[in-house]
Amino acid sequence: MDALVLAAGPNNGRLRSCHTASMEALIPIGRRPMVDYVVQALRHCREINRIVVVGPLALSDYYLEDQRVTVVSGGKDPIESLQCGLAALAVPAGRTEPAKHDVLTDGAVLADQAFSASDKGRDRCEKADQLLVVTGDLPLLTPQVLEAFLHACRSREGDVFYPVVRREDCERRYPDVRRTYVRLQEGWVTGGNLLLIRPSVIPRALTRARRFVRLRKSPLALSRLLGWSFLIRFLLRRLTIAQVEARVSELFRLRAVGVLSSSPELGIDVDKPSDLELVRRCLAGLSS
């Protein structure tokens, strides 16, 4: 399968106080940019073939010697960046034109040209059995953790698989970690920052996904979209993973599966200074 790394987020939030890099993916951990830890985990995962990094084109020179890795610029939001990555994957492996680091330079426009307007490119991407989508701020990710997650996914039938990690597993391995947890009937859990998806379901799910992105700062509108009965069960802590799966499946018109994992590395993203400090301590000596 192929992998898509979303790493186009600008460094204009809380991490700005830690480093002046223009994009979060470029913030160094040791001698390497943060996103490289994700790329190397994917490179050494036996399940992964091509890797597309949607992020700063400055990373292109970093992977000039690796024909498996392509770097393309992103869009103005995660949905548009996803389209940019899909467009790059629609270009056949080994194609020499355009150059691998210049496949996309204008987010939405070229994504539409290469993915939506190109029947052959779209068909090639959609016929792929599965695609792994990962955020570029998971530097603790390892090939072993990835392979364990992918193995767990194979035991279930679905279109999209999303890791769910118990709070006790996170805090047992990383006592200093600060994560956002939700209470389900299975206990306190947190979500991962990657998903395994069947590319053929992406086009019909994109419209609803864009709506979620637009409404993310409007709790009332988002509540209407999710449904009040769903939210009431959530507030009363009566929701189960199976019920969340069912609601997501209904909303996005696909089969969603939540995969319980004991690997906190799937969800420890770097979005604040304490996260960066934690991963730098954990990765000290492994960054050369």
Q: Is the pLDDT of residue 92 over 60?
A: yes
pLDDT in tens, 147-159: 999 999 999 999 9
* 217 Cβ contact partners less than 8 Å away, ≥ 6 residues apart: none
Contact 94, 76 (CB under 8 A): no
- DSSP-assigned letters across all residues of 135-153: ETT-TT--HHHHHHHHHHH
The per-residue pLDDT of the chain, averaged, comes to 86
User: How far apart (Å, rounded) are the C-alpha atoms in residues 134 and 55?
Assistant: 12
Per cent of the chain over pLDDT 70 is: 85
Q: Is the pLDDT of residue 270 over 60?
A: yes
In a domain, 22, yes or no: yes
Q: What band does 95 get if pLDDT is binned at 50, 70 and 90?
A: low
pLDDT given at position 32:
94
CA atoms within 13 A on the CB side of 115: 24
Contact 78, 55 (CB under 8 A): no
User: How far apart (Å, rounded) are the C-alpha atoms in residues 169 and 154?
Assistant: 22
pLDDT given at position 123:
57
Q: Domain total for the chain?
A: 1
Contact 6, 54 (CB under 8 A): yes
In a domain, 145, yes or no: yes
Q: Comparing 161 with 104, which gets the higher pLDDT? A: 161
In a domain, 162, yes or no: yes
Q: What band does 114 get if pLDDT is binned at 50, 70 and 90?
A: very low
pLDDT in tens, 179-238: 889 899 999 999 999 999 999 999 888 888 888 777 766 757 777 788 888 888 888 888
Q: Is the pLDDT of residue 113 over 60?
A: no
Q: What band does 109 get if pLDDT is binned at 50, 70 and 90?
A: very low
Q: Is the pLDDT of residue 245 over 80?
A: yes
- H or E segment to which residue 51 belongs: strand 51-54
Q: CA separation (Å) from 254 to 8, 158, 160, 170, 197?
A: 27, 8, 8, 29, 10
Q: Comparing 7 with 218, which gets the higher pLDDT? A: 7
Other C-beta atoms lying within 10 Å of the C-beta of residue 195: 19
The residue assigned the tokens 């996309």 is 104
pLDDT in tens, 8-56: 999 999 999 999 899 999 999 999 999 999 999 999 999 999 999 999 9
User: How far apart (Å, rounded) are the C-alpha atoms in residues 1 and 198?
Assistant: 10
User: How far apart (Å, rounded) are the C-alpha atoms in residues 153 and 266?
Assistant: 14
Q: Comparing 236 with 89, which gets the higher pLDDT? A: 89
Q: What is the CATH number of the domain that holds 257?
A: 3.90.550.10
Q: Comparing 178 with 125, which gets the higher pLDDT? A: 178
Return the exposure string of 131-164: e unless at least 16 CB atoms fall within 10 Å of the residue's CB, then b: bbbbbbbbbbbbbebbbbbbebbeeeebbbbbbb
Q: What domain range is 210 assigned to?
A: 2-283
pLDDT given at position 90:
87
pLDDT given at position 118:
46
Prior bond of 98 cis (ω within 30°):
yes
Closest by CA to 130, choosing from 160, 92, 93, 86, is 160
Q: What band does 126 get if pLDDT is binned at 50, 70 and 90?
A: low
In a domain, 288, yes or no: no
pLDDT given at position 212:
78
pLDDT in tens, 14-24: 999 999 899 99
Within 142-240, where are the H helices?
143-153, 167-173, 202-215, 219-226, 228-235
